[in-house]
Amino acid sequence: MTATGGLLDTAQEMNRFLAEVERRAFRIAQIALRSREDAQDAVQDAMFQLAKRYAARPPVEWVPLFYRILQSRIRDCQRRRKVRNRVLSFFGGQRGEGEDELPDPIASAVDPTARDPSEQVAQADAMEALETALAALPVRQREAFMLRILEGMDVAETARSMGCSEGSVKTHLSRAMHSLRETLGEHWP
């Protein structure tokens, strides 16, 4: 009875955690992979692995564990793409990263119920510019920026998620900020 109750509590807590984090995780994966389908797959896998393997861990540890799994899935996907692109280029055809998917016109349409459509469009443009700039960064700098700034982790959590020291996180983040600000300019957004 106690074990079942504990399991139920853990499941409920896991559900709350994943519901709270899933949208940001998806967007982070999408920014890194430039593909909605691949991002959905990566997040789905990270959710499942976290719940299956680490549900018994204290919930405080779930954030870095989840993002560590997600970053691993993102890197796996990027490696598979590289191999696929090499094979395709060997046989004459080549498709770039993220080109396997055109944006869904309905999905990308502006929500008419939004309070201020012009503001939403401006934010969408700003996000698009940020995504483009992030795509040009080295992988580790991009990871540090997305986890520390976009996801809002502290330095220690970011370091655990990236599997590196806190000093490395600070270095990667500093370089990322410098590059992004140079790319986006003073008037962004």
Partner 1 sequence: MNTPENDDIFARKAREVFLASTASLDSETLARLRTARARAVEAVGVPARWQMRGWRLPAGVAALIAVALLGGFLWMGGAGTTAPASAFSKANSDAPLMMANDNLDMYGDMDFYQWMAAQDQPAAQPSEPVDDSEDDDDDSGVGG
- Footprint on this chain of partner 1 (rule: CB under 8 A): 3, 7, 10-11, 14-15, 18-19, 22-24, 26-27, 36, 40, 43-44, 47-48, 50-53, 55-56, 104, 106-108, 111, 114, 120, 123-124, 126-127, 130, 145, 149-150, 152, 177-178, 180-181, 188-189
Minimum CB–partner distance for residue 91 and partner 1 (Å) = 32
Report which secondary-structure segment, H or E, holds 78.
Answer: helix 62-90
**Minimum distance of partner 1 from residue 167's CB (angstroms):** 17
At 143, which amino acid appears? E
List the end-to-end C-alpha distance of the chain, in Å, as a whole number: 54
Q: Sign of dihedral through CA atoms 36, 38, 39, 44?
A: positive
Nearest to partner 1 of 15, 89 (CB atom): 15
Contact call for residues 63 and 157 (beta carbons, < 8 A)? yes
Backbone angles phi and psi of 188, in degrees to 5: -80, 140
CB of 78 to partner 1, least distance (A): 20
Q: Tell me the closest approach of the beta carbon of residue 165 to partner 1, in angstroms.
A: 21
